[in-house]
Amino acid sequence: MLSKLCPNLYVGSLHHIDFSHLKGIGVEGIVFDIDNTVTMWGSTEIPATTRKWLEDAKTHGFRVCLLSNNRKNRIDDISRMLDIPSAKGFKPLGSAFRSALCLLGTLPQETAIIGDQIFTDILGGNRAGLYTILVQPMSTNEFITTKFFRKLERIVLRKLACRGLLKQEDSDPHNFTE
């Protein structure tokens, strides 16, 4: 079970992800979680640096989509603002990831999921066969049940680190421009 909770890569934020690394391992499509990955929880405000990173991902030739179980109206608003298609689905269910893959037109092994939650983004992504990237949440403001799961996440991260399973990217942020 612990292996299904282990991200392939653990980084501080989107800006620490190296596009050339993703290209090198055959990634062609990227699925993005929304809350606390590209926006603050419950907000439709997207930092300019995040917008630029997402634009850069497109420029590098990646197919991109959003995947969230949030309200459809909110997902649609963010999708329009970023000009990125969106799928709605309840992570970690496989059907959510199949919807995203269908939207991207990529195979699981050609696709990465980037998200801030182990029990939804990472567990679901691993089970669906995607390359999984865990980012640290953009803020501590979040849903009450998420706060509970954060405690479990900390335990999981400690265990993964103790067993040497956690691949972290500690270097300076890549592709980051203020």
Least separation, in Å, of the C-beta of 138 and Mg ion?
Answer: 9
Per CB under 5 A, 153 contacts Mg ion? no
The span from the CA of 157 to the CA of 5, in Å, is: 9
Residues 6+ apart with CB under 8 A from 17: 9, 11, 114, 133, 169, 174, 175
Per CB under 5 A, 70 contacts Mg ion? no
Least separation, in Å, of the C-beta of 120 and Mg ion?
Answer: 7
- Region binding Mg ion by CB under 5 A among candidate stretches 14-22, 24-32, 34-42, 159-167: 34-42
Least separation, in Å, of the C-beta of 133 and Mg ion?
Answer: 12
CB 5 within 8 A of CB 118: yes
Per CB under 5 A, 142 contacts Mg ion? no
Is 170 exposed, middle or buried (CB count within 10 Å of its CB: 0-12, 13-18, 19+)? exposed
Q: How many residues bind Mg ion (CB under 5 A)?
A: 4
Residues forming contacts to Mg ion in the complex (CB under 5 A) are 33, 35-36, 116
